[in-house]
């Protein structure tokens, strides 16, 4: 199975900060990489798919980049509603895998 490794596992940031989360695949997955946001007690929400495609309704401060094995989720100006856990997920293989998650906390 393809392993997905996220870093960091958690970070503290302030409103207005630029935040970068990294996701690394154990093998090349082209751009078959998706990002989700999950808030406490809620189901995950798809933010970005195929590495860079922002879902409808997702603020433009979110962006994704990367291909092959290395990917990045960037939040350009962190807002109070962005404090959550973020997961990457590969859809290259028919056996899907998620990263371990990155918790974005308030500093």
Partner 1 sequence: EMQLVESGGGLVQPGGSLRLSCAASGFTFSNYAMHWVRQRMGKGLEWVSAIGTTGGPYYPGSVEGRFTVSRENERNSLYLQINNLRAGDTAIYYCARETAAGDGMDVWGQGTTVTVSS
Binding site for partner 1 (CB under 8 A): 1, 32, 34, 36, 38, 43-46, 49-50, 53, 55, 87, 89, 91, 94-101
Q: How far is the CB of 100 from partner 1 (least distance, A)?
A: 5
Choose between 17 and 92: whose C-beta lies nearer to partner 1.
Answer: 92
In the structure encoding, which two tokens stand for residue 76, read together?
């350009």
> What secondary structure does DSSP assign to 82-100, as a single string?
G-SEEEEEE-SSSS-EE--
Q: How far is the CB of 60 from partner 1 (least distance, A)?
A: 18
What does each C-alpha distance from 30 to 42, 51, 54, 66, 83 come to in angstroms?
Answer: 30, 9, 17, 9, 29
Choose between 17 and 42: whose C-beta lies nearer to partner 1.
Answer: 42
Q: Check residue 1 and report its DSSP letter.
A: -
In the structure encoding, which two tokens stand for residue 61, read together?
């401060």
Q: How far is the CB of 15 from partner 1 (least distance, A)?
A: 26
Choose between 13 and 44: whose C-beta lies nearer to partner 1.
Answer: 44
């Amino acid at each position: 199975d393809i392993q997905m490794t996220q870093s960091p596992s958690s970070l503290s940031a302030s409103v207005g900060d630029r935040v970068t989360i990294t996701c690394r695949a154990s093998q090349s997955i082209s751009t078959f990489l998706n990002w989700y946001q999950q808030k406490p007690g809620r189901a995950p929400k798809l933010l970005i798919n195929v590495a860079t495609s922002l879902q409808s309704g997702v603020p433009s401060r979110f962006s994704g980049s990367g291909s092959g094995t290395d990917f990045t989720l960037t939040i350009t100006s962190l807002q109070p509603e962005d404090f959550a856990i973020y997961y990457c997920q590969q859809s290259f293989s028919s056996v899907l895998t998620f990263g371990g998650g990155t918790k974005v906390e308030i500093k």
